[in-house]
Structure 1
């Protein structure tokens, strides 16, 4: 039997998973981390991918690239380094190749097949571009499935005779997507989806960055630039993460020979980002209106994406929906875990010649077993 994995090829982070004794598990990268930054440093040879590339990005290196997933089907998006042209497909293939290598080192065997996930709104060109990236990485792509479908699978949702509807609220590092999954007796169908592809956890970071840099400039009359600004960007992200477990955080800001400590509370942070949460609610309402349903018709809410770890998100979604979000799965890892389960079902079905079931997107249908 060929060796397979499930891959969440994300805008800001990517994750790879496999099936271990019947259960999906995350494969750590060669740094020991369970999630890998979707970042590529083209200034190094060979190019650096993941944590090392993100470290160089934090230092302001101009030859480091991220967010290329947004342009995966854009033939005019080119990255020029060392007299070479690279496309978003090339950079995506580098991330996939890195994840493949990490999986092979962890499993101590070759990895040949993969199910790769994409946003539900991806069109056929974007899906084909993702398949091409997989092939360039040396993978046989078993199929492309929608991220909300994979997330639902990870939370234990399967086609069944009890028809239900699951809302998937996916707040990642750089994008927000909300999808409605219709669970039927022979399929999981994404019946409505919307999102903001420039709204994500980084916007929450930026609010902290703006707050601290403004305080510093007001106190000392100097603007943070260069390495000082880059360092504060890194501190802003760390502060956001800390505020998920702490009520307040003290941050040391320095620049132009000055240094000062500022305290930011969780309550302040929530007030600074209140409008961002409201933007997500507006998009959720659009999806419900598109499907012509209300919250009373929703049977469960699934939170996906690392940014949903922020307490304000879970509290906001619970207040908005009147339902406690489903638990038991790491939101960073749900999509990859679901992709690994899908890969296992595909492989098993081919061996057993199981009758076909279907996983459907809003605009295109995908076979669950083929």
Structure 2
């Protein structure tokens, strides 16, 4: 059985397709949303809600939003360990898999994982590496907007249709235009912003709060900064349902009161909304469609709950977007459908899913200026962005100088006319065996890009027919196979708490987080925590369960959760 996974910036989910539809597996807290947060305590690793609570109480030992760092060499120090983004993602994947295996009763070994449509080659390969580090085989990476379309049943339509999917998650914004015809779901165009999401809308509130209260956040310690972010995140969520929200908080010895209404918040976020318009317009332009040619607009992603996002889509397309499936769950449900298709589930209609190359791929060339002087550093596209994959394109190149003995084919990814603003993926040195005056010294260069994100570069000397090849399976910032094996051994050596203890550890983390927030209740919270720790030390199952239930109820009452 293959599972579908939404490996998100703020939350992650796991599910599978059954004869009765898609099922999402809950974590030990009964929630299908598992926070994408990792924390280290006493040499042990916490993942999920417990780690999220420790973001407030122990911010230096906890980390979130590492999906934004995928495909880079960035490392995060937690305790005595240093983690790459792939390893942090692998820890989240392991937790999700444990939840699925607890529900299913058997080991899960294969998965379909969703990724932002605008993820680069390096980011996609880093996601595959995370799956390998987590001990699963990644059967396919599916673009998040494509997964959303599957969740809305695009593949079940009897008539042809075009759908625009807007996916605003915690850390990324994706736009895709898809079309269904003859049992094929084809992506026409993808665009997006890998650094625009709910976290950026949260930072708008942070800046407004600082400016209007006169608070200097540099005077706050790590716990207070994390507490402020947590409270403003809660305020942001409340603004999706209420027109006016007030905040009272004590920071740096000051009691601060602040209020903001949804209209004011939308005005503050106008620069972000303008950033959203650009990839939407680019996708429509690339697909060569007019807005009225779209049959449906789908809005997904947790941040899509904000009324200002719905208004933006409504203004741009003159109609309300579809949002009847839980925006937080749509990607995971679609990934589960894709997993069922991959497993050839008999209850699913046979559909062919196509994808596109999200970025332009090309090489560096030199050009002659008006003054006759040679200028290097120009980008020459070979495979244009949004080409349906698999795709293969070729072009002919000539040496500039008669005495050249080598021709270097640099491989770049990006949309800038100059290579210095694009990403270099690799290079191939081609010796020119034909001398000047002996015949054709040109070479034919072919780029071939497949659905697994592997780019093959073939260079053929036209005079001799001699062929040179470069296969780019690795990118800068991506782990090599030997590195993955070494990192896997290191992860296996980590002390990970057993799943049956996670619910207790999460309750401790929640109590510690509330201790840092509810100053007037600290004595009571400390007493409750002491009693619960004593119950855990007894190792008496019934006593632990009783104390856990009582502590949970007390904390719910204190936070007003019913």
Task: Tell me which residue corresponds to 1:52.
Answer: 50
Q: Does 1:324 align with 2:313?
A: no
Structure 1 position 86, deviation (Å): 2.6
Task: Tell me which residue corresponds to 1:261.
Answer: 257
Q: TM-score, normalised by structure 1?
A: 0.88
Structure 1 position 239, deviation (Å): 0.5
Task: Tell me which residue corresponds to 1:36.
Answer: 34
Structure showing greater Rg: 2
CA distance in 1, matches of 2:344, 2:271: 46
CA RMSD of aligned residues (A): 2.6
Q: Which runs of 5+ in 1 are unaligned?
A: none
Structure 1 position 21, deviation (Å): 4.2
Task: Tell me which residue corresponds to 1:357.
Answer: 352
Give SS of 2:236's match. Answer: helix
Match of 2:232 among 229, 236, 239: 236
Matching of residues 109-148 of structure 1 within 5 Å:
109-148=106-145
Task: Tell me which residue corresponds to 2:165.
Answer: 168
- Structure scoring higher RCO (CA < 8 A, sep ≥ 6) equals 1
Task: Tell me which residue corresponds to 2:92.
Answer: 95
Structure 1 position 356, deviation (Å): 7.4
CA distance in 1, matches of 2:281, 2:219: 39
Residue 228 and residue 19 in structure 1: after superposition, are their counterparts in 2 closer, same or farther (change >3 A)? same
Q: Which runs of 5+ in 2 are unaligned?
A: 357-385, 391-449, 452-562
Match of 2:17 among 16, 19, 23: 19
Task: Tell me which residue corresponds to 1:252.
Answer: 248
Q: Is the 8 A contact 2:9 2:66 kept in 1?
A: yes
Q: Is the 8 A contact 1:161 1:185 kept in 2?
A: no
Structure 1 position 150, deviation (Å): 0.7
Give SS of 1:62's match. Answer: helix
Q: TM-score, normalised by structure 2?
A: 0.60
Q: Does 1:307 align with 2:303?
A: yes
Deviations 1:72-124 (A, max 9, x none): 333x2233445544322211111110000111223343323221111222344
Residue 106 and residue 334 in structure 1: after superposition, are their counterparts in 2 closer, same or farther (change >3 A)? same
Q: Is the 8 A contact 1:7 1:16 kept in 2?
A: yes
Q: Is the 8 A contact 1:16 1:99 kept in 2?
A: yes
How many residue pairs get matched? 361
Q: Is the 8 A contact 1:39 1:65 kept in 2?
A: yes
Structure 1 position 65, deviation (Å): 2.4
Residue 172 and residue 222 in structure 1: after superposition, are their counterparts in 2 closer, same or farther (change >3 A)? closer
Residue 124 and residue 267 in structure 1: after superposition, are their counterparts in 2 closer, same or farther (change >3 A)? closer
Deviates more, 1:354-363 or 1:108-117: 354-363
Structure 1 position 286, deviation (Å): 1.6
Q: Does 1:178 align with 2:199?
A: no
